[in-house]
Amino acid sequence: MSDYQVTHSKSQVFYDVFERKAELKHQTHYCPGCGHGVAHKLVAEAIADMGLQDKTIFVSPVGCSVFAYYYFDTGNVQAAHGRTPAVATGLKRACPESMVVAYQGDGDLAAIGTAEILHAANRGEKISVFFINNAIYGMTGGQMAPTTLVGQTSTTSPFGRWPGNEGYPLHVCELLATLEAPVYIERVALCDNKNTMKARKAVRKALELQKNGAGFTFVEILSPCPTIWKMDPLDARRWIEEKMLPVFPLGVFRDRPAPQMKESPVPHHTFVEALELDTKDGDTHERAQTSKQAGRSLTLKMAGFGGQGVLLLGQIVAEMGMREGLEVSWLPSYGPEMRSGSAHCHVCLAQERIGSPLISHPDVLIAMNEISLRKFAPQVKSGGLILYNRSELPEGFEMPQARVVCVPASDLADQLGMAKVANVIMLGALMAENDLLTEESAMSVVQSTLGAKAKSASVLEMNRKALQAGREFMQKAATPVQN
Amino acid sequence: MRQLTKGNVAVMKGAVLAGCRAYYGYPITPASEIAEAAALYLPQVGGTFLQAESEVASINMVYGASSAGVRVMTASSGPGLSLMQEGISYLAAAELPCVVVDVVRGGPGLGNIAPEQSDYFAIVKGGGHGCYRNLVVAPASVQEMADLTMLAFELADRYRNPALVLTDGFIGQMMEPLELHPHIAQAPEKSWAVKGTPETRPNAVTSIHLEPDTLEAHVRKLEAKYKEAEKVEARSETYCAEDADVLLVGYGIVSRVLRSTVDQLRERGVRAGLFRPVTLYPFPSRALLQEAKKARVVQVVEMSTGMMVEDVRLAIEGRVPVEFYGRVGGNVPSAEEVREHVMQLVAAPVA
Ligand SMILES: Cc1ncc(C[n+]2csc(CCOP(=O)(O)OP(=O)(O)O)c2C)c(N)n1
Ligand code: SF4
């Protein structure tokens, strides 16, 4: 009668008994003539024949095939609606040796899950996706699918799909075939025995390719849904041939090895190296309990334009405090504020556990520009210190509660020939005023925050000079302009 | 040795040490440094990092990896967490462990990227559909970003349930000393996982139970786990609470602010103390009630219009007056601001 004999014995990849419902122990829940049953059989037989049963993880979708895991005697994971390719991605990456089969309907794959299938394909996930296109939502009772044909009626396109409102049927194979990574894309149809045999071959080919680690494989299966289409099974198969094939042409859309690519650029390291863990012992914190630092604290605010290095200056001060064995916190302004060109940070150095890292009234303000001076100076504690990055104060500026020192750090940095070190000059100035921060740590911290740039002797030298310039400026020239 | 570290980076260092070997995520301020650290660290130690196409995809990749028994995580901020809620519900339903970090920013909608605590309802009370709970920890320092992330992995596996790290933009962005022990935690053997091996072939991960009785039995099983967690996993911390007339209650960054407020109030002769929930689910209700009973008034402070305060009121059962003070929009209340609020409160004549 045909070259494809529907066998009535069950594939070994199907369970002996389907435990879903007591009254349906040897029957699937699919309607008579449903394409899902045939597609399941093709997949199950291929898995069995290829000896892949133990390695297979079957990922079932939401749709009529949600209960596929009652039939497939393989590892099973049931995914949320549309997310099968994402779930399959997580599984395959975790178990590269396994065979991951993703099975999806047209609503699942081509509507709610459009992003997931496109990106899984684009990444070349080494999985096999079987896409059951029945041009309708079966499980929920016959609503329009993205693959519903123009003019086809459904419960949500009762007058027939009209492209002016609902758009055109989505051609998934054609879409995926625009991507680089997929190795195999074919559309087949369960419309007659000959085509079912072709579908059988396509399913096997996809699995074979996955077994060999070839790449992303995809088979779209045009599939009858006699119940929703309100046809008998034979008419439904005929409808595929007459109505669906002209819209969804069969054929191979991609069949080629994965593109050549270079070796992964990722180096391999131990976790200690990768996390850059400092595994030296030595609790400097305890040392501080007994040192001259006992009971002391310092809160600072640094503010200026982005690019003036105020955030880095804050980090350097925090790092120095930490090396002194103090508790420290550094809290930056972040996000659009930085993009708009201004930046500030709060730094706390304390003997005790630090409460709020947000400082309302700092001991010290380092203002790198006039806006910051005007904005933050009123917050400085009474008896506090303000270092201002200019040779003189703006006209009419008064801040009686604090001592204001003009340290023209940017000008001094320009004189040194390196505008970038203005923040280090300010650090030098700060250190001249406060002995909580020690000389020893300053250069080594500056060096470590410079990272690769610290390799250059001239850069290091420049920073050393900057530190010195700031300190000397305070010692020599800085006469308090106020107070 | 202690290393000056950003909160978001500490999350990932802790995660790697907790045995996390996969991260799937999508960038969003102020959480992106977690993904960036994951991208840097995990591949170097043989793990997986993938920037997904969306938070929807991320959480479902997490679902897949968790199904295979891997310690896996993702992180995001408010808008991304909204997209993950469906997936988190599925993970809880399928009893899959995972860690999700929410570095909360201002909402609703696109809001802004400054810190808030306005995801409390969404994270602590569920957010997704169905009867499930998230286990929730709330770090208040960079050190705790690592430590509580590690705890979250333990809790997730212990209860086979998502564990959420609820934090905010400030804790994520700030730097503090971090001390870590170079030791990788061993994830427990997961006999239920699906790995594509002969031993795991009989396993199935699913969340659908069509028969009402079957689903009820399943939901009851989840409920029993949550009840058990409520008994043994609630964690909290106090500061100067023993003799406090005014008990301040706050979590995360606010608990840091309140610590300073307590000091300032005590300097002014007000006997203040702090109660800080470390786990938000289970909520440390019993410990809170014990402390609160000794106080004259309980002052809850949040960066929201009042979310955790509902749990505080439930715990205190009307035995002590509960006041609320909240800031939103990305404004973090200062210690002084809260202090003034409390000074007014204690000065007010008792009704
Ligand atoms: C988030 C979400 N939205 C909607 C649904 C309801 N739903 C279940 S299956 C389905 C469509 C299934 O259609 P299809 O993928 O074509 O599969 P079929 O049933 O035709 O095999 C829908 C909309 C759901 N389960 N989850
Ligand atoms: S409704 Fe359609 S797709 Fe669903 S089982 Fe019946 S025939 Fe198959």
**Closest-lying ligand to the alpha carbon of A78?**
1
Range in A80-84, A435-439, B93-97, B175-179 the model is least confident about? A435-439
The CB of A88 under 6 Å from ligand 2? The reply is: no
pLDDT at A377 over 70: yes
pLDDT tens per residue, range A78-88: 999 999 999 99
* Predicted local confidence at residue A4, as pLDDT: 47
B145 close contact with A: CB closer than 8 A: no
Is pLDDT larger for residue B102 or for residue A448? Answer: B102
Distance A252 CA to ligand 1 centre (A): 27
Give the model's confidence band at A477: pLDDT under 50 very low, under 70 low, under 90 confident, else very high.
low
* Predicted local confidence at residue A453, as pLDDT: 77
Give the model's confidence band at A470: pLDDT under 50 very low, under 70 low, under 90 confident, else very high.
very high
Give the model's confidence band at A21: pLDDT under 50 very low, under 70 low, under 90 confident, else very high.
low
Which ligand 2 atom is at minimum distance from the Cα of A227?
A: 7
Same domain, A308 and A363: yes
| Mean of pLDDT values over B60-82 | 98
pLDDT at B144 over 70: yes
The pTM of this model reads: 0.94
**Closest-lying ligand to the alpha carbon of A227?**
2
Percent pLDDT > 70 in chain A is: 92
Both tokens of A300, joined, read 């600072």
> Is residue A171 domain-resident?
yes
> Is residue A106 domain-resident?
yes
Distance A190 CA to ligand 2 centre (A): 14
Whether A315 and B175 lie within 8 Å, measured CB to CB: yes
* Predicted local confidence at residue A483, as pLDDT: 44
**Closest-lying ligand to the alpha carbon of A38?**
2
Which ligand 2 atom is at minimum distance from the Cα of A134?
A: 3
pLDDT tens per residue, range A379-404: 999 999 999 999 999 998 988 899 99
pLDDT tens per residue, range A82-105: 999 999 999 999 999 999 999 999
Is pLDDT larger for residue B142 or for residue A23? Answer: B142
pLDDT tens per residue, range A248-262: 999 999 999 999 999
Contact residues, A window 317-376, toward B, CB-based 8 Å cutoff:
318-319, 322, 327-332, 334-336, 353-358, 360-361
> Is residue A17 domain-resident?
no
Range in A149-153, A277-281, B100-104 the model is least confident about? A277-281
| ipTM attached to this prediction | 0.95
Whether A271 and B61 lie within 8 Å, measured CB to CB: no
Residues of chain B with CATH 3.40.50.920: 237-347
Distance A225 CA to ligand 2 centre (A): 5
pLDDT at A479 over 60: no
Residue of B nearest to A281 (CA): B1
Whether B208 and A99 lie within 8 Å, measured CB to CB: no
SS (H, E, C) chain A: CCCCCCCCCCCCCECCCCCCCHHHCCCCCCCCCCHHHHHHHHHHHHHHHCCCHHHEEEEECCCHHHHHHHCECCEEEECCCCCHHHHHHHHHHHCCCCEEEEEEEHHHHHHHCHHHHHHHHHHCCCCEEEEEECCCECCCCCECCCCCCCCCCECCECCCCCHHHHCCCCCHHHHHCCCCCCCEEEEEECCCHHHHHHHHHHHHHHHHHHHCCCCCEEEEEECCCHHHHCCCHHHHHHHHHHHHHHHCCCEEEEECCCCCCCCCCCCCCCHHHHCCCCCCCCCHHHHHHHCCCCCCEEEEEEEEECCCCHHHHHHHHHHHHHHCCCEEEEEECCCHHHHCCEEEEEEEEECCCCCCCCCCCCCEEEECCHHHHHHHHHHCCCCCEEEECCCCCCCCCCCCCCEEEECCHHHHHHHHCCHHHHHHHHHHHHHHHCCCCCHHHHHHHHHHHHHHHHHCHHHHHHHHHHHHHHHHHHHHCCCCCCC
* Predicted local confidence at residue A434, as pLDDT: 85
Which ligand 1 atom is at minimum distance from the Cα of A132?
A: 21
CB-CB neighbors (< 8 A) of A69 in chain B: 204, 206
Is pLDDT larger for residue B206 or for residue A479? Answer: B206
Same domain, A344 and A237: no
pLDDT at A480 over 80: no
Same domain, A241 and A148: yes
| Mean of pLDDT values over B203-210 | 96
* Predicted local confidence at residue A444, as pLDDT: 87
* Predicted local confidence at residue A333, as pLDDT: 87
Same domain, A279 and A209: no
Of the residues A197, A230, A255, the one at which a domain ends: A255
Q: In CATH, what number is assigned to the domain containing residue A301?
A: 3.40.920.10
* Predicted local confidence at residue A284, as pLDDT: 55
> Is residue A7 domain-resident?
no
Amino acid at B319: R
Please name the residue whose Cα sits nearest to atom 8 of ligand 2: A34
The CB of A65 under 6 Å from ligand 1? The reply is: yes
Q: In CATH, what number is assigned to the domain containing residue A123?
A: 3.40.50.970
* Predicted local confidence at residue B256, as pLDDT: 97
Same domain, A28 and A103: yes
Residue of B nearest to A314 (CA): B175
> Is residue A128 domain-resident?
yes
Same domain, A456 and A319: yes
Percent pLDDT > 90 in chain A is: 79
CB-CB neighbors (< 8 A) of B70 in chain A: 94
pLDDT at A6 over 50: no
A29 close contact with B: CB closer than 8 A: no
Whether A356 and B257 lie within 8 Å, measured CB to CB: yes
> Is residue A2 domain-resident?
no
Same domain, A160 and A272: no
pLDDT at A57 over 50: yes
Residue of B nearest to A56 (CA): B196
Torsion angle, CA of A52/A54/A57/A63, rounded to 10 degrees?
80
| Mean of pLDDT values over A468-483 | 74
Same domain, A234 and A291: no
Q: Which residue range is the domain that position A323 belongs to?
A: 268-477
* Predicted local confidence at residue A441, as pLDDT: 80
Beta bridge partners of A188: A221
The CB of A31 under 6 Å from ligand 2? The reply is: yes
CATH code for the structural domain at B237-347: 3.40.50.920
Of the residues A208, A228, A255, the one at which a domain ends: A255
Pairing of strands A217-222, A184-189: parallel
B22 close contact with A: CB closer than 8 A: yes
The CB of A130 under 6 Å from ligand 1? The reply is: no
> Is residue A8 domain-resident?
no
Same domain, A249 and A283: no
Distance A106 CA to ligand 1 centre (A): 9
The CATH fold of domain B2-232:
Rossmann fold (3.40.50)
Is pLDDT larger for residue A436 or for residue B14? Answer: B14
Residue of B nearest to A89 (CA): B61
Q: How many domains does chain A have?
A: 2
Same domain, A229 and A320: no
Is pLDDT larger for residue B126 or for residue A413? Answer: A413
> Is residue A16 domain-resident?
no
Same domain, A234 and A358: no
Of the residues A190, A225, A255, the one at which a domain ends: A255
CB-CB neighbors (< 8 A) of A269 in chain B: 44-45
Same domain, A227 and A116: yes
